[in-house]
Amino acid sequence: MPSQTVRHDALPTPPSSAARAHCVDLDEHDPLAALRERFSLPDGTIYLDGNSLGALPRATAARVADVVTREWGQDLIESWNSAGWIAAPRRVGDALAPLIGARFGEVAVADSTSVNLFKVLTVALRIAHEDTGRKLVVSEADNFPTDLYIAEGVVEQCGDGAALKLVPATASDARAAAIVAALDPSVAVLMLTHVNYRSGAMHDMKRLTRIAHESGVLVIWDLAHSVGAVPVDLHDADADFAIGCGYKYLNGGPGAPAFLWAHPRHVERFRQPLSGWMGHAAPFAFVSGYQPATGVDRFLCGTPPILSMAALECGIASLKDGDANPMRGLRAKSIAMTALFIELVEAHCGDAMLLATPRDPALRGSQVSFHARGAIAGRGYAVMQALIDRGVVGDFRKGATDDEDILRFGFTPAYLRYVDVFDAVTTIADVVASGSFRDARFDVRAAVT
């Protein structure tokens, strides 16, 4: 590759030792510092990818091993009763409920985020069509792709005028206005992700839900990048449905079960489309004909994945530290850490990184994204691979053009330290300044980016 001329006045400068000492002091006075000991983190790694896959709680391996060797290995099928396997979807849902502003008995943990979205979107469209005759779903063009794929499938199945309308991607400060403008009298359901997976921009859930309801529109919220990272109160927001995953900030492990919530005013109105035996009113009666269970249990489908449920239960417990709803403290630390990261990157990385995340903490989740510019323009993937090689783990998301490529950094306050933020920026500045990302091995694309 031809050499690239770089302006020396634009090269990153290393952060000062005084600034690092300040970060060490912040860690020493951090009221959440003890939470870090609940996680198993590799030596020499600064993990800034908890928005993709959370770290391993120390309790998880022993708990899963106990389920395998004792509950399964010794007690065999009796564990469905003696170990409470059959109640896992509701029990884990009840543990999760305080983190999203739900009540006891309202959350079911089951299946994947995509499958749960299929369930609630189908039900929401049925309710909207019965009440208003509408069948149009509105979402954002830059919503997480699987949500849009599921919506395409749902409207195709519904047929007869059902359609999906996408609000074009726009600047973060104009997103809400564009969505509101799209809520005309033909709209049945508004389907949004609370925190955008690429930019980290966060919607005002309560305000948008209220405006949608004023237009007769039901609202579904995807909380995949919210739960465990930012406070959510579904009842206060008067949301209609919510879904989300368990393997990001909940630290439930790869492929952890997802969750589903339906407002009590909707939950009994329709049976969900995947009428499997666990959603039956009496699954062990083995009768012909489907009769949905009462409450959120009717949104269950197949047999719960017990090993994964046990891991997710540990992940949720690892956040709480005796507090049923620890989100206020976690959110305060998240805001402080992301603000520090933005300040340090902008101060020490010259014109190489352009902030893509809202600067206002009220408008961002617990991640910070940057566009690659200047010396690293068009080389975002290679830069991230070079960072990972140096022990700073974030991730890369490809945009429609090189200018839209994103370097993402997720901040999980339960196990990250302020000194990790400082050291990560020191490494970023060095990778950019040294040009080490130009090594050809960093251009080799892996299956997962």
Annotated catalytic sites, by residue? 144, 222, 247-248, 408
The closest alpha carbon to 352, from 326, 327, 337, 370, belongs to 370
The closest alpha carbon to 96, from 318, 414, 367, 272, belongs to 318
Cβ neighbours of 327 (radius 10 Å): 22
Q: Per residue in 165-198, is it b (16+ CB within 10 Å) or e — as a string?
A: eebebeebeebbeebbebbeebbbbbbbbbbbbb
Segment holding 346, helix H or strand E: helix 327-348
Written in H, E and C, the secondary structure of 430-441 is: HHHHHCHHHCHH
Distance CA 181, CA 159 (A): 25
Decide: 310 and 71 in contact? Cβ < 8 Å: no
The closest alpha carbon to 247, from 262, 266, 227, 264, belongs to 227
Q: Give all strands of the β-sheet with 163-167 in edge-to-edge order.
A: 107-109, 259-262, 241-244, 218-222, 187-193, 136-140, 163-167
φ, ψ of residue 107 to 5 degrees: the values are: -115, 130
DSSP secondary structure letters along 69-116 = IIIITTTGGGHHHHT-GGGHHHHHHHHHGGGGT--TT-EEE-S-HHHH
Handedness of CA 219, 329, 358, 449 (dihedral sign): negative
Decide: 189 and 124 in contact? Cβ < 8 Å: yes
Query: How many residues would you count in the chain?
Result: 449
Distances (CA, A) of 161 to 128, 134, 156, 164, 265: 13, 9, 9, 10, 26
Decide: 447 and 72 in contact? Cβ < 8 Å: no
